[in-house]
C-alpha cells in the first residue's frame, strides 16, 4: 500500500468573531495516500473549504499538524512553505483566470513567476492545452470561453508547475451536469496519466461516486465517517453520511409508508431481477419508491427504496432474503408514516 502523501493529525481551526468563536474544524485526523482521488464531503457549513485551505496553509490551523511528503507545513519558514506550496496546485469554483491575458498566457503565468523562460513556458502551455482539449483556444480570452472551458484552462494552469497534489474546492459547482461530467473525466485522466494525487471538496455525493476512491464525511466541523466510496454507498454508518446519500432521493420524501428499506445491489447483482423474483416467490407486491444504478469504482452499484408488505412476517422474510443474497439492507425510519 502506498505511503501517505498527506497526513492530517488532530487538526482544528477556530475563527474569532465579535460574538464569540467559531470552531470550523474540530480535531480531525486522516491520511491521503499517493495516487488517491480523495473526497471530502459535507453539507454547507460542515467545514470543507476551511479544511482544504488548511491543507496548503492558506488558513493556518489553530491546532494540529499538516504533514505533506513527511514535512510538517506548520513548522516551515515562510520561504520553505512557499517552496512546498509549489508542489500543491489548487483549482476553485470560480476559475480565477486573468481576464486581460489570453488562454495561453494564463497558463504561462505561474511559470513566469517560477522563472521559466518564455519559449519553454509557451511550449509547455501548448502541451497542456492539448491535454485539456483546448488547443484551438490558445489565443482566446477568458470572456470568450464557456464555464467548462474556463475550468479546463484553470486545470492546465495548475498543471504547469508539475504538482504532485491537486486540491479541487467545489471545482464543478458552477457547471451544468454534462460539463461537470466532462471535467471529472478530465481529472480522472490526469490522475491516471500523471499520477497526481487529487483531493476533491464537494457537497455533491454524485461527484464523489463518479471520481473518488476514498472519502471522509464532515459534519459541523467534525469527521463523521471515512473509508472507501463503495463502503459509504453500501452501508453508511452515521446519520451525516445517510443524509448525504439519501439527499439524492429528496424528491420522494413525501411518499410515506410502513417498513421502508434501502437495498444496495453490489457488482453483478445490480443487473439481476431480484425484486421480480421475490414478488413471484412471496406472491406479494413491493412498492418501489426509488431506484437507480450507478458506476462506483468501475463497478455497477444499484440502490432501491422499497415499501414492504404490511404483513410483518412476510416483510421480515423479505429482509432476510435480501441479506442472504449479500445485499445491503437498511431500515429507513424517516419514511415510516
CATH number of 253-335: 3.30.70.260
Give pLDDT tens digits for 233-275: 888 888 888 888 876 554 444 444 568 888 887 765 556 677 8
CATH number of 4-236: 3.40.50.300
Q: Same CATH fold, 253-335 and 4-236?
A: no
Q: What is the residue-wise DSSP string for 32-78?
A: EETT-EEEEE-STTSSHHHHHHHHTTSS--SEEEEEETTEEGGG--H
Nearest C-alpha neighbor of 212 from the set 228, 195, 226: 228
Residue-level pLDDT at 319: 87
Give pLDDT tens digits for 60-88: 999 999 999 999 999 999 899 988 988 99
Domain boundaries, the chain: 4-236, 253-335
Cell, residue 64: 494540529
Q: What is the residue-wise DSSP string for 179-234?
A: HHHHHHHHHHHHHHHH--EEEEEES-HHHHHHH-SEEEEEETTEEEEEEEHHHHHH
Task: Round to whole Å and give the CA distance between 55 and 85.
Answer: 10
- In this predicted structure, which of 94-108, 180-194, 210-224, 287-301 has the lowest mean pLDDT? 287-301
Its pTM stands at 0.81
Amino acid at each position: 500500500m502506498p505511503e501517505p502523501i498527506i497526513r492530517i493529525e488532530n487538526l482544528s481551526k477556530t475563527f474569532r468573531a465579535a460574538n464569540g468563536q467559531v470552531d470550523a474544524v474540530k480535531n480531525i485526523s486522516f491520511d491521503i495516500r499517493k495516487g488517491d482521488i480523495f473526497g471530502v464531503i459535507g453539507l454547507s457549513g460542515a467545514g470543507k473549504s476551511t479544511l482544504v485551505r488548511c491543507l496548503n496553509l492558506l488558513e493556518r490551523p489553530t491546532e494540529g499538524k499538516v504533514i505533506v511528503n513527511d514535512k510538517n507545513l506548520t513548522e516551515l519558514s515562510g520561504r520553505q512553505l512557499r517552496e512546498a506550496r509549489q508542489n500543491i496546485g489548487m483549482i476553485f469554483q470560480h476559475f480565477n483566470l486573468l481576464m486581460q491575458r489570453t488562454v495561453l498566457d494564463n497558463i504561462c503565468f505561474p511559470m513566469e513567476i517560477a522563472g521559466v523562460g518564455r519559449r519553454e513556458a509557451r511550449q509547455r502551455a501548448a502541451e497542456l492545452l492539448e491535454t485539456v482539449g483546448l488547443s484551438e483556444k490558445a489565443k482566446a480570452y477568458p470572456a470568450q470561453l464557456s464555464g467548462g472551458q474556463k475550468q479546463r484552462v484553470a486545470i492546465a494552469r495548475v498543471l504547469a508547475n508539475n504538482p504532485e497534489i491537486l486540491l479541487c474546492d467545489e471545482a464543478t459547482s458552477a457547471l451544468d451536469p454534462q460539463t461537470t461530467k466532462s471535467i471529472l473525466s478530465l481529472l480522472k485522466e490526469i490522475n491516471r496519466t500523471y499520477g497526481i494525487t487529487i483531493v476533491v471538496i464537494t457537497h455533491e455525493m454524485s461527484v464523489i461516486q463518479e471520481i473518488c476512491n476514498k472519502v471522509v464525511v464532515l459534519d459541523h466541523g467534525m469527521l463523521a465517517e471515512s473509508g472507501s466510496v463503495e463502503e459509504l454507498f453500501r452501508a453508511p454508518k452515521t446519520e451525516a453520511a445517510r443524509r448525504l446519500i439519501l439527499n439524492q432521493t429528496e424528491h420522494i420524501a413525501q411518499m410515506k409508508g410502513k417498513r421502508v428499506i434501502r437495498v444496495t445491489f453490489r457488482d453483478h447483482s445490480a443487473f439481476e431481477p431480484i425484486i421480480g423474483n421475490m414478488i413471484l416467490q412471496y406472491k406479494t407486491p413491493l412498492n418501489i419508491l426509488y431506484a437507480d444504478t450507478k458506476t462506483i469504482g468501475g463497478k455497477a452499484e444499484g440502490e432501491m427504496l422499497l415499501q414492504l408488505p404490511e404483513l410483518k412476517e412476510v416483510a421480515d422474510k423479505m429482509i432476510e432474503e435480501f441479506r442472504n443474497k449479500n445485499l445491503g439492507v437498511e431500515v429507513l425510519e424517516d419514511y415510516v408514516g
